Structure 1
Amino acid sequence: MFTAESWPIAANMLSFGATAPDGGHIKDAPATVWAAQMREARELGITQIDPTDAWVPLARLSDERVEEFRRTLEGEGLSIPSISMTRSSVVDRDKGDQFLAEAHRLLDLAPSFGASIVNVGFMQALTPEQADAVWFWLENGHHDDPALRDLAIERIRELGDHAQSVGVGLSLEMYEDTYIGTPDDAVAFLDDVDHDAVGLNPDLGNLVRLHRPMPHPDDMYETVLPRSNFWHIKNYSRDFDPRTGAYTSAPMPLKYGYINYRRIIRRAIESGYTGPFCCEHYGSDSLGVIAENIQYIRQVLASALD
């Protein structure tokens, strides 16, 4: 059992993006570029990162570059408890086969980095309207095709078999308008996959930020926490004016947003949650907010585990 200080809590590195200073892809950049970005995190007291494929896609690196990444990571004093895939759906009509192969490669790589979880989801590339919006979630995005649900179940079960064989977990990230876009849909999908190595990533921040009706987060978490094995954790403000029908939302540090994470994290521990946390934040000084959020989670854990 982890203590509050030893619990794996990573910073998601997606705030750095995938573009290197020279305009090329970060995966092709010199290791010194990776090191400089890792050092920014380390200087904030962050000791663990999640190398999401929205930053450095490990599955697309050659074996030699993977080892270069590993040496850079160790040189900066960082470790990896989880690896996330972002907008890389295994049932994407154009790239699903590629993304499935990349998920398998990450499952092979994860144990060598000490990662206990590989996170996948069914969200897909941003639409042009989303890319142009102030906040991408304010525009309508991808909706999963019900006709591909059986294929999605088959491919997640295949990945679950692989995950189990290498001793890691597979987590499914909740995201609106996908097969796991609501708590009930997520649990139903997980039941249909029916695999001990597969759990949920209850990233309900993805839902709370939407400008649409939404159950209270306490009720949503009550449904999914018992099935969760990993957690992208972030918070937002949320408001609704019944006179005009207008919603508002914006990213907030964990401590100040709409979701009461002191209560929810304690409830997660009571429900048996033992997975890693991965802190995310959009806008402003994302990395600085993440560093503060990590310390907040540790304080809540210290209280909950006392």
Structure 2
Amino acid sequence: MTTDLADWPIAAAMLPFSSRLPDGSPLQTASAEQWHPLFQEIAEAGFDHVDLSDNCFRPGDMPDDQLDALASVIKLARLKPSSISVVRSSVIDERHGDDHLAYSHRSLEAATRLGIGTVSIGLHRPLTEAQQRQLWFWTVAGHRDDPDDRAQWQKAVTRIRELGQHAAELGIVLSLEMYEDTYLGSADSAVAMVEEIGLASVGLNPDIGNLIRLHRPVEPWLDALRKVLPWSNFWHAKNYMRDEDAERDHYVAFPAPMESGLIDYRQAMKLAVEAGFRGVICLEHYGGDGLSVCAANQRYLRERVLPACRHVTPHASRVRQPHRG
């Protein structure tokens, strides 16, 4: 196996962790000593990289001294921060879009301070009350971007291009997370968006898991991946079991380990390597002991999937890939 494949950065997402300490106080404003057990737990699960998913921390809202303390705690746990995932902060939100745009800019600056080369953003909105009441929030429809609203589409292009230019100035890459019912909600729309933005610093986060979990007809995962992988520079990777009975209009999905779900990650990773993808892989899982499932998924990738990619001939990616550091 090449060194590139052997050293591929695979990060744990922070989705399994709460944004609050046991006493109810915010994790964001806790002390370095209170942060340390969380990162130590991630390291003890077998990870050497961590994605700073902003469901726990919001680096873009931290002053420099707090970012420096965060970096020290992560280093003390023998981890490396690989990426920042900004979620549910759409820059075209009708009420909060301006604030989200400013926060996304601050997140890019925070990434640079932390030595991070990748920031992922999306156009998905906060969960509705109905979604929050469900066991699996994706079984209830949330906000939908209007595909016929060309002014709103252009606003997304303009604002993301602004962020992409900022990322390029900082020497990092911006990744756009695929998510249902947004302008990044299908392979064709996501590719059209990144093509219109037209910056090498802006690519896609091919989170096809966000799509195959929907309880409705979806594009076949392999068809979607073939379209988006050449434009991809970061990857929220997860898997779901899925059952379909189109004749009865019956669709069911629920989280599963990577090797057991619908997406064949052995095939998907070969296609990614062939497409020139070299971005960070961030492992996510909902439900149960998410960290342990992600740890098992990392072993699956390192021990079985990546070795199977060693003979794949890579092509040039259509977007800039993050600096490994």
TM-score for both structures, normalised by structure 1: 0.96
Contact 1:3 1:302 in 2 (8 A): no
Farther-moved stretch of structure 1 (241-250 vs 192-201) = 241-250
2:215 equivalent in structure 1: 211
The structural deviation recorded for 1:155 is 0.7
Question: Conserved in 1, the CA contact under 8 Å of 2:5 and 2:306?
Answer: yes
Which residue of structure 2 aligns with residue 29 of structure 1? Answer: 30
Greater Cα shift, 235-244 or 287-296? 235-244
Shift of 1:257: 0.2
Name the residue aligned to 1:79.
Answer: 80
Paired residue for 2:183? 179
Q: Which segment is superposed worse, 58-67 or 208-217?
A: 58-67
The letter for the 2-side match of 1:215 is E
Contact 1:149 1:179 in 2 (8 A): yes
Give the residue type in structure 1 aligned to 2:295.
A
> Hey, what does 1:304 align to over in structure 2?
309
Q: CA deviation at 1:295?
A: 1.6
Distance 2:94 2:247 in 1: 41
Query: What are the Cα deviations for residues 187-239 of structure 1, in whole angstroms up to 9, with x where unaligned?
Result: 11111111111000000000000011112111110110111111000000000
Contact 2:190–2:204 (CA under 8 A) maintained in structure 1: yes
Q: Please name the residue that 2:271 is paired with.
A: 267
Hey, what does 2:51 align to over in structure 1? 50
Rounded Cα–Cα distance in structure 2 between residues aligned with 1:49 and 1:83: 9
Q: Which amino acid aligns with 1:54?
A: N
**2:95 & 2:24 partners in 1: Cα distance?**
26
Aligned residues: CA RMSD: 1.3
Q: Contact (CA 8 Å) 1:123, 1:178: kept in 2 or not?
A: yes
Mapped to 1, the partners of 2:54 and 2:3 lie a distance apart of 27
Q: TM-score, normalised by structure 2?
A: 0.91
Which residue of structure 2 aligns with residue 249 of structure 1?
253
Q: Which residue is equivalent to 1:68?
A: 69
Give the CA deviation at 1:2: 5.2
Q: Which residue is equivalent to 2:109? A: 108
**Partner SS state of residue 15, structure 2:** helix
Amino acid of the structure 1 residue aligned with 2:310: L
2: CA distance, partners of 1:91 / 1:69: 30
- The corresponding residue for 2:315 is none
Amino acid at match of 1:141: G
Contact 2:15 2:286 in 1 (8 A): no
SS of 1:16's equivalent in the other structure is coil
Identity %: 42
User: What is the distance in 2 between the residues matched to 1:267 and 1:130?
Assistant: 34
Cα-to-partner distance string for 1:243-283 (whole Å, 9 max, x where unaligned): 53211111001110001000110111011111110000000
- 1:235 is matched with 239
- In structure 2, the residue matched to 1:164 is 168
Other structure's SS at 1:74 match: helix
> Following the alignment from structure 1 to structure 2, what is the Cα–Cα distance between the partners of residues 22 and 68?
22
Secondary structure class of the residue paired with 1:14: coil
What is the CA distance between 1:302 and its match in structure 2? 2.1
Q: Show the counterpart of 2:19.
A: 18
Contact 1:79/1:113 (8 A) holds in 2: no
Q: Does 1:139 align with 2:173?
A: no
Residue 290 of structure 1: aligned partner: 294
Read off the aligned partner of 2:38 and give its amino acid letter. Answer: Q
Residue identity in the other structure for 1:302: P
- Give the secondary-structure state (helix, strand or coil) at the position aligned to 2:12: strand
Shift in CA distance, 2/81, structure 1 to aligned 2, threshold 3 Å: farther
Runs of 4+, deviation exceeding 3 Å: none
Q: Which whole-Å CA distance do the structure 2 matches of 1:35 and 1:238 have between them?
A: 37
Tell me, yes or no, if structure 1 residue 155 matches structure 2 residue 174.
Answer: no
1:124 alignment partner in structure 2: 125
**Partner SS for 1:294:** helix
Q: Distance in 1 between matches of 2:91 and 2:265?
A: 31
3-state SS of the aligned residue for 2:23?
coil
Distance 2:70 2:128 in 1: 31
- For residues 135 and 188 of structure 2, the distance between their equivalents in structure 1, rounded to whole angstroms, comes to 30
Q: For 1:125 and 1:33, locate their aligned partners in 2 and report how far apart those are by CA, in whole Å.
A: 27
1 CA distance for matches of 2:297 and 2:84? 19
3-state secondary structure, aligned to 1:3: helix
Match of 2:296, SS state, is helix
The CA distance in 1 between the partners of 2:95 and 2:247, in whole Å, is 43
What secondary structure, in the 3-state scheme, does the structure 1 residue paired with 2:203 have?
strand
